[in-house]
Structure 1
Amino acid sequence: MGRLIAVISAVLVAVFLSSILVVNEGERAIVSRFGKILKDDGITRIYAPGLHIKIPMVDKIKFLDSRIQTMDGAADRFVTSEKKDLMVDSYVKWRIRDFEKYYLSTNGGIKANAESLLQRKINNDLRTEFGRRTIKAIVSGSRDELQQDALRNASESAADLGIEVVDVRVKQINLPANVSSSIYQRMRAERTAVAKEHRAQGMEQSEIIRAKTDASVTILLAQAQRKALEVRGEGDATAAKIYADAYGQDPEFYSFLRSLEAYKGSFQGDSNVMVLEPDSDFFKYMKSPLGK
């Protein structure tokens, strides 16, 4: 008897627990009973966070995330007003605004279906905004203006899904790979041509500077040589004057010194040979100390 009471008690506890519906914070719940959504006066019943009662084994619960979601898809191709292709990478912040409409439009609140439909609408809105602008306006202009226009259009187009678009952001704008390659090659050719031109100008300036330097060196050397000759001439003149003054004071002593210098310069080694007349004046001081 006691075992039966325990079993019944366990069953009752299990039934009670299975009849409790717990909706967490940041979630909403929709209950379908026998395949039909529960409604109040024709309006779908949305269960807010908290504890609720359900019929076990009969009610089916669909939990919906009420927080802000991020949809970051792959980059897509857009065409500008001048028919130029751009690869645009963007992301969208969104959340559920009308849970009933969201549930019905996404085939039972399936998030993948919601993002697929939303991505299509966002791309259409972005395609419209890019189609109204040139590449220069997109790249050099205000990206905030483009994003604000896209957000406004997306909010209107996503309303029929029960979705509120919180933000639309363009992360990156690139040219397609084939276009980027051709532009890169053209830019490289242009830069190479500019580099060659600068290099030629540099070589020309180098030759001009080298020629000016060589001319300056030649002029400096000529001036230095002229100055050296002038100094040497002045030195020779001074020496000649000194010799002349010395000769004027004592001609005989001056002649004696010059003869000694001549003897010293003439007899440098044992093999020196001089052929002179015996009565030559060259040996006058060797013949007589007085030189007479």
Structure 2
Amino acid sequence: MNRIGLYVAGALLLLMLASSTLFVLDQRRMAVVYALGEIKEVIVEPGLKWKLPPPFQNVVFLDRRIQTLDSPETRPIFTAEKKIVVIDWLVKWRITEPRQFIRNNGVDIRNLEARLSPVVQAAFNEEVTRRTVRGMLATERERVMQDVQARLQDEAKSFGIEIMDVRVKRVDFVADITDAVYRRMESERKQVANELRSQGQAEGEKIRADADRQREVIVAEAYRDAQKVKGEGDAGASALYADAFGRDPQFAQFYRSLEAYRSAFRNKSDMLVVDPSTDFFRAFRGGAAPASGSGR
């Protein structure tokens, strides 16, 4: 049992020694080997690697992939025409000189980002102050990004990194100016809407006036035609009456008397106080009876 225990202890010791001297490096990282606090070697080829056990040698890993630095905050910048804008940007970078990177920033990427961010902001400030708002929004936006990237190349070397790309994500006015612009746009839209409403109302009045005029013309023409037809009917009726009354004058007198009675006694409650011997009641007395030849 003692011999087996010694074997197990020896195997564990060898395993611990191997784990302290061997490490695996993948393609996403690079390894920096320290020997007594100094950089001994930088390993970039992936695979199984070895080193001396601590404290003789230690290893730290750095990310080889492209990193993204976003603008930490939006700061106002004056353009060439003294207008204030704010810019959101991003920078793509990666480590190219591990020794230089560690000497200036240590092994924590956040240290590099804290130092690089004001440098990028200063480069944007210099480029934006040389251009107008129109240029920043459209015509010179690409040129600004290229110039900022060129400005950062020398600074990047001192950090041990390479600037891969610089992008402007957003260009906008500060909040006060943005509110003023929105209010002006709202006022202009309201003015256009009011003009359109006025034009619509004027067009509506014009259409209504034209419709009223056409209605009056149609009604007048219809009334004219009706009166014409009525007049022709009355003329025809008068001609018929005249012909009929001319053939039998006594019947005509009798018919007119009946029409007079009908007009005078239109309602049952009508009352007329006159002398019965007057000519008004001659038909009742038989004085205006039609001749025997009339067939009545």
Shorter-chain TM-score tier: 0.7 to 0.9
Which residue number corresponds to residue 98 of structure 2?
Answer: 99
Which residue number corresponds to residue 55 of structure 1?
Answer: 52
Taking a change above 3 Å as real, the CA distance of residues 160 and 239 of structure 1, as seen in their structure-2 partners, is farther
- TM-score, normalization by structure 1: 0.79
2:23 is equivalent to residue 25 of structure 1? no
Which residue number corresponds to residue 290 of structure 2?
Answer: 290
Which residue number corresponds to residue 173 of structure 1?
Answer: 171
1:7-22 equivalence runs, <5 A: 7-22=9-24
Matched-pair contact (CA < 8 Å) for 2:254–2:283? no
Q: What secondary structure is seen at the aligned counterpart in 1 of 2:146?
A: helix
Instruction: Give, in whole Å, the separation in 1 of the partners of 2:265 and 2:194.
Output: 71
Instruction: Give, in whole Å, the separation in 2 of the partners of 1:142 and 1:240.
Output: 97
Number of matched pairs:
286
Aligned partner of 1:52: which letter? K
Q: 2:245 aligns with which of 247, 252, 259?
A: 247
- Cα deviation 1:62-96 (Å, max 9, x = unaligned): 21100111212332332211122211111222212
- Cα deviation 1:166-204 (Å, max 9, x = unaligned): 222222222112333344445555555666666666666
- TM-score, normalization by structure 2: 0.79
Q: What secondary structure is seen at the aligned counterpart in 2 of 1:136?
A: helix
Q: 1:130 aligns with which of 118, 128, 131?
A: 128
Instruction: Give, in whole Å, the separation in 1 of the partners of 2:38 and 2:77.
Output: 43
Matched-pair contact (CA < 8 Å) for 2:101–2:159? yes
Instruction: Give, in whole Å, the separation in 1 of the partners of 2:53 and 2:65.
Output: 28
Cα RMSD (Å): 3.3
Q: Give 5+ residue unaligned stretches, structure 1.
A: 40-44
Could you tell me how far 1:138 is from its partner in structure 2? 1.6
Q: Give 5+ residue unaligned stretches, structure 2.
A: none
Instruction: Give, in whole Å, the separation in 1 of the partners of 2:135 and 2:236.
Output: 87
Decide which moves more: 14-23 or 239-248: 239-248
Instruction: Give, in whole Å, the separation in 2 of the partners of 1:261 and 1:64.
Output: 126
Instruction: Give, in whole Å, the separation in 2 of the partners of 1:217 and 1:109.
Output: 92
Matched-pair contact (CA < 8 Å) for 2:257–2:280? no
Which residue number corresponds to residue 261 of structure 1?
Answer: 259
Could you tell me how far 1:222 is from its partner in structure 2? 5.2
Q: 2:142 aligns with which of 132, 141, 144?
A: 144
Identical columns (%): 34
Instruction: Give, in whole Å, the separation in 2 of the partners of 1:147 and 1:169.
Output: 6
Could you tell me how far 1:31 is from its partner in structure 2? 0.8
Aligned partner of 1:102: which letter? F
Taking a change above 3 Å as real, the CA distance of residues 206 and 52 of structure 1, as seen in their structure-2 partners, is same
Could you tell me how far 1:118 is from its partner in structure 2? 2.4
Instruction: Give, in whole Å, the separation in 2 of the partners of 1:172 and 1:56.
Output: 51
